[in-house]
Chain A
Amino acid sequence: AQSVSQHNHHVILSEAASLELGCNYSYGGTVNLFWYVQYPGQHLQLLLKYFSGDPLVKGIKGFEAEFIKSKFSFNLRKPSVQWSDTAEYFCAVSEGNQGGKLIFGQGTELSVKP
């Protein structure tokens, strides 16, 4: 069965620090990759997604992610975080022929200190 692994359970950063959150998946076929964010008390929002094409994907709020097929990875990055980025971040993967079923990683809680 496919699995998604996020390496960091809780990340604490100061404002303006750079961010990289790791995500690895186990499926070897065609995949669609997503990063979702869940701000405190709010619902999941899509940050960015990768279906095909340029492996470097830019999303909202200055986030980007790079798909490295050989490493089965889709790490999320932001050069300079803000206090408002404090949230839970989820990596998710869907297989190309599974009708859109999303498999989520465990989530990474990001706390940004002002």
Chain B
Amino acid sequence: GAVVSQHPSRVICKSGTSVKIECRSLDFQATTMFWYRQFPKQSLMLMATSNEGSKATYEQGVEKDKFLINHASLTLSTLTVTSAHPEDSSFYICSARPLAVQQETQYFGPGTRLLVL
């Protein structure tokens, strides 16, 4: 149980294009999903908290107009990297927190590797 999927697993795009990444909780509902960015050999940096039915909460320094987050249902959140540039190349990871009282554990997706040429 507690499986989180991401699609696509990797994507290569041209500079200036937009890329959408999906995060799905497959066997549980999640009111809250999180989006992280991981640079090579570094830790995960929280980008934003995605809440179903409301606007995402972005961490300091993360451009909300560049990284659009939509959490349309209890099992799906999407991250759209708009007008991607080479510096946006990274590993993007989502996590989902099950809909349960006092449940603080997050389950992570396999990540999406983005390469912007």
Contacts and interface: CB of A to CB of B under 8 A. Distances in A.
Interface of A: 32, 34, 36, 42-46, 49, 51, 90, 94, 99-107, 109
Interface residues of B, number: 21
B28 interface: no
Interface stretch (B12-20, B63-71, B76-84, B107-115): B107-115
B32 A100 contact: yes
A49 to B, nearest CB: 6
A46 B105 contact: yes
Contacts, number: 50
Contacts of A109: 41
Contacts of A32: 104
A49 B45 CA distance: 20
Given A44-B93, A100-B32, 9 more contacts: A43-B109, A101-B34, A101-B49, A102-B34, A102-B44, A102-B46, A102-B95, A107-B43, A109-B41
